[in-house]
Structure 1
Amino acid sequence: MPAKLSVNLNAIAMLRNRRDLPWPSVTDLGAIALSAGASGLTVHPRPDQRHIRFTDLQPIRTLIDSTFPEAEFNMEGYPEEGFLRLVEEHRPEQVTLVPDDPSQATSDHGWDFRKHHNLLGSVVARLKKLNLRVSLFADGDPDREALKIARDVGADRVELYTGPYGGCFDDPEKAARLVEELGSTADIAIDLGLAVNAGHDLTVANLPALAARIPALAEVSIGHGLTADALEYGMAETVRRFCRACGQDV
């Protein structure tokens, strides 16, 4: 089954936040994305609310529940208490835990599972009591022992950090090496019983090779590249383009 597409709304929210005005509307564009074939919506509510605001969360939850009940809400963030309380309030179908310092511009590395296994074990157990799916951000390094820790702390999935792969758009040889490395990591994760997501700097151009190398890829979460394309093609057509790049027949 082709990977599902979750549209990350952060870049849309960041554009809106340049003015004290309600447009572009995060929920309206989320609705267009879901109508066009996206399977879910992703947000990363940082403590400073520089893109997604806490007040965006309930309207997104309501949009999915009322109009797109087959879709999923994915909340991404560092597992500090404020974020966990937002998760408990809005009950996303999936929580993606990332190791970023809240002041970082964007996620740029996966968890050090050896160093943070106690923290992750405690947080994952708390989230599993709510019957939420938990995904942990992971580097593309095929480290079996690290991925075993991800499994053993109770995660359902890992999300492969694809930033380095997306960053070598002008170096086909390096891209081929990195997609094979990501594929090897996915092979290990799947062998251990973990499902595999992917995200960061994925585009219509680089998604097909990744999807071909990881045929069991469950989901991709895409924001920056998708939002950039939406300026040219419109949100609906952009979502269809990304779905096709995942291998979906839309």
Structure 2
Amino acid sequence: MESFMSALKGAAVALGLSTFASVPATAETFDSTIADTRTLAAFTVNEDALAAWLPDTHVSAPYGSGSFAGTNLVMMFIDRMLHQNAEGDPKNGGAYRMMALIVPGKDAATGEKSTFIARLYSPGEGADPYKTAVQSTIRHDVSLRGTGTEPLSGRHVWQVEQGGGMLEISFDYAGGVPSRKVGESVLSTPLDPTVKRIYRYDQLTDVVLSGSKGIDRVNNVTVRVEIPELAEMFDRSEALIGLADRPFYTRTTWKP
């Protein structure tokens, strides 16, 4: 474990589909480890409405390249198989589902980029390191199939109930050989951009829909956003930019 964590500590600061800002090397505190599967849905949404989800000192900074080029909001659906604290004991119950709204932004004065967890739709208050969580019910139905040496294909159905409303994203996909990346990302909260958490991860990602890359291996796509607090962003002017299946994601979490 020590050699693995040492290798991760020196890894490049890139998170597969997007670029996250890094922080200078300082004393760090080990917090936890996780093992997940994830689904990513990338959008362009109403920029005026999105501004309310960023700190007053920041503006939106859509991704300029990669599979999600042009994206200003990512929904990251998380099926957490195991969450362990620094001592190796189950944390927040050990297993749960959640959804994070991820907004790339930059300081309006300096241009320094940050990635914000603007909202966590969470089953409990414990899973809330960014102080942006709201109590929610999250369901994940998944089916997978494969024969011989072919990549797995399947269907994801994600539903989030919150505030008297429902959010649903579902799609069928033909799987491809995923890309693998070991790296580091730094995320923050819009409540205080100086509060950061460092994630050192190992992940597999299969991009199944990307306009910028000309990838379309999906069918029967449904996007329904009827959660009241998201209505201004999802005002029918939004566009789905990409979808990705992340069948493997593990990381260590550090506090700077």
Give TM-score, length-normalised by structure 1. 0.26
Give TM-score, length-normalised by structure 2. 0.25
Structure with a larger share of its residues in strand? 2
Q: Which has the higher contact order (CA 8 A, sep 6+)?
A: 2
